[in-house]
Amino acid sequence: MVTIKDVAKATGVAPSTVSRVIADNPRISPDTKERVRKAMKELGYHPNINARNLAVSSTKAIGVIMPSSADKALQNPFFPEILRGIGSVTHSMQYSMTLSSGVTEEEIFNEVERMVYGSYVDGIILLYSKLDDRITNFLHEKNFPFVMVGKPYENATEITHVDNDNYTAGKEITDHLIQMGHQNIAFIGGSKELFVTLDREAGYEAALCDAGLDVYDEYRIHTEFLKSGGREAVERLLSLKEMPTGLVVSDDLISLGVLSMLEESGVSVPSDISLVSFNNVYLSEITRPALTTVDIQIHELGAQSAKVLIEQTVDKSVAAKRIIVPHKIIYRNSISEKGAL
Amino acid sequence: MVTIKDVAKATGVAPSTVSRVIADNPRISPDTKERVRKAMKELGYHPNINARNLAVSSTKAIGVIMPSSADKALQNPFFPEILRGIGSVTHSMQYSMTLSSGVTEEEIFNEVERMVYGSYVDGIILLYSKLDDRITNFLHEKNFPFVMVGKPYENATEITHVDNDNYTAGKEITDHLIQMGHQNIAFIGGSKELFVTLDREAGYEAALCDAGLDVYDEYRIHTEFLKSGGREAVERLLSLKEMPTGLVVSDDLISLGVLSMLEESGVSVPSDISLVSFNNVYLSEITRPALTTVDIQIHELGAQSAKVLIEQTVDKSVAAKRIIVPHKIIYRNSISEKGAL
DNA sequence: CTGTTAGCGCTTTCAT
DNA sequence: ATGAAAGCGCTAACAG
């Protein structure tokens, strides 16, 4: 391995000088810089990151933590997409990113501990928000730089987070359904433990209220992702005395399952029932019908979190922030006008 | 930060002893081990990974490189799934994993260079196989430990890789279609640059030949993922004088697009046309109809690569290997019997 | 069984 | 503008 010493020797300067050249220190003469750089190139010198990390006690690396149900969760295109968003900024700032790989909460907690105590990373991005979460609490207590994607359950003013305005998004998309003449609108959401679900549901509710429509408890269904989840939700729906004509589904992936089961049950979308959802993952344009959905700009969510986290790691004194990434409804064809009836 | 010295002082032993306790060195008396461990716990000691890495010049980290078209590619559930597979073993062996984040080939190449020269990682997993690939060549020349998922174009005997038997898989699934009475069978594949496509296509061809069926060039279509790709392929298909009754599609994600376009064109699957594909990603059971597809055990593909890579990094002398992960046809309902006609 | 010592490669005062 | 030297936290001979 070519070290700084080799370069120094080859150039006839001291190691410290070489180090300064690497840092592009202004008080090194252009001439020596030139010579040192030439030698580095010739010898094929590359800095050893561990030595550097050790000396400056910083790593230029950030850790990305997936939710503990990672096996299922990772199936949601949301995650690859947000990873890309994070990657785009870590890459441009020459940071590297380390992914959590644990499955159980316990495993992940241990990984986080190692990351923090072992100086693996300078900061952490949490890809979920959970009530009373051990990892969140740990990071918060230790005062370790981290940002959360989503809304924190506690200490929201002290925890930097980047989120959408899911309440408003839920309201707007439900409004749209109402504008199209629908009055019986049901909500199908993911886990009630997740703030996203709650926020979107609250928006749905508010839209109904504002329009003077009743909110029925049987019209609010909570379920899992994928096929099984879709089945369950659709069965519940079909068993209702009065079938809704509109459906607000809190995640495109759930919509997929719902769509599939609906078709199996002979209910056609959008002619029998209209459906809208959230996220605008790439799948939502391939489904039949293509989904009208809220684009939450997943990539941007990731990019913003990485950006603010890095800011935070370089200057630990900056105050906690909330960053809201704007959303936008994407109109496709999973809705039909109800006015005609 | 609590260091090894603090623990040493607190216990009244030498730092090296503490180090040995960490390594669980057998020649330390159980008694001192006990005391040292107690002190570590009390002081809240955690080893500094960078110092350790520097001292032993190894990192217990592996780099995972995505293909350069990562933006699109990452959308394929194949990637999250293989990441999970990799993660399951890195996690169990206490390794960490660093993801590439570049988009262009140039960017990724630079990342790889940094990983290798900067001692970021002990080994690298390449999640693609490309002809005349700069990164592959670099790694191969440098003799840096790496494994490839898929089949190398060159130096296959010198490059450890883990792959499926895509040829046989293609043959078997095509055979199945033939058994079901189909004679006009087309192939829709992804990029011809990819070995997977080529292998599966070769298997398709072999099955036709073995059955004494003709192989038409117009029956072999190459396309992109997702909607646009599906459209194009289906248009080509519909423009044929003789429409095939069977379709072998080289990737579930492509099937999704094809399915969607087929339905739009009023062609029904499986009654008008039967379709089979590859990968068995979770989507394939949500589509309508659910896909008969070859399960290539993506998770296992990832796990095996991580496993063999780690073996290779600890003992650089082990010979290059080829590991074939078995496949299995998953029967669902995108096929109908053609015999009746 | 344990302590001493010398690095690993880089950065960073402190001199000059 | 540059060099000398100490030190980041840990490991690994080498002694004993």
Per-residue pLDDT of chain A (341 residues; tens, 9 = 90+): 899 999 999 999 999 999 999 999 998 999 999 999 999 999 999 999 999 999 999 999 999 999 876 556 667 889 889 999 999 999 999 999 999 988 889 999 999 999 999 999 999 999 999 888 999 999 999 999 999 999 999 999 999 999 999 999 999 999 999 999 999 999 999 888 889 999 999 999 999 999 999 999 999 999 877 666 678 888 888 888 889 999 999 999 899 889 989 988 999 999 999 999 999 998 898 888 999 999 999 999 999 999 999 999 988 888 999 999 999 999 999 999 876 54
Pick from A110, A105, A149: which is nearest to A129 by CA? Answer: A149
Minimal Cα distance from A73: which residue of B? B80
Interface with chain B: mutation pick from A1, A2, A49, highest number of B CBs within 10 Å: A49
CATH superfamily of A1-39: lambda repressor-like DNA-binding domains (1.10.260.40)
**CB–CB of B96 and A98 under 8 A?**
yes
- pTM of the predicted protein model: 0.92
**CB–CB of A79 and B74 under 8 A?**
no
Interface of A with B in 31-50 (CB under 8 A): 46-50
Q: Any CB–CB contact under 8 A between A61 and chain B?
A: yes
Interface with chain B: mutation pick from A99, A112, A226, A252, highest number of B CBs within 10 Å: A99
Nearest-angstrom CA–CA distance, A155 and A179: 38
Cβ(A213)–Cβ(A185) under 8 Å?
yes
**Can you give the C-alpha Rg of chain B in angstroms?**
25
Cβ(B199)–Cβ(B170) under 8 Å?
yes
State the maximum Cα–Cα separation within chain B, in Å, rounded to a whole number.
Answer: 88
Interface with chain A: mutation pick from B50, B79, B114, B251, highest number of A CBs within 10 Å: B50
Task: Give how far the C-alpha of residue B281 lies from the chain's centroid of Cα atoms, to the nearest Å.
Answer: 12
Domain boundaries of chain A, sorted by first residue: 1-39, 61-163+299-325, 166-296
A61-163+299-325 is classed CATH 3.40.50.2300: yes
Q: How far is the CA of B317 from the C1' of C11 (A)?
A: 35
Residues of chain B with Cβ-Cβ distance to A282 below 8 Å are 75, 226
Instruction: Assign domain B166-296 to a CATH class.
Output: alpha beta
Interface of A with B in 245-304 (CB under 8 A): 256-257, 260, 263-264, 282-283, 285-288
Cβ(B104)–Cβ(B69) under 8 Å?
no
Residue B282, CA distances (Å) to A225, B6, B197, B256 in order? 11, 51, 20, 12
Cβ within 7 Å of nucleic strand C, residues:
A 1, 3-5, 15-16, 19-20, 22-23, 45, 47-48, 51-52, 54-56; B 12-17, 20, 25, 27-29, 31-32, 51, 54-55, 57
Cβ(B189)–Cβ(B203) under 8 Å?
no
Residues of chain A with Cβ-Cβ distance to B111 below 8 Å are 91, 96
Pick from B64, B54, B62: which is nearest to B121 by CA? Answer: B62
Residue nearest to nucleotide D9 (CA to C1'): B51
Strands of A212-331 (E only): list them. Answer: 220-222, 246-249, 274-279, 292-295, 322-325, 328-330
Asked if domains A61-163+299-325 and A166-296 share a fold, the reply is yes
Nearest-angstrom CA–CA distance, B224 and B68: 15
Nearest-angstrom CA–CA distance, A329 and A295: 6
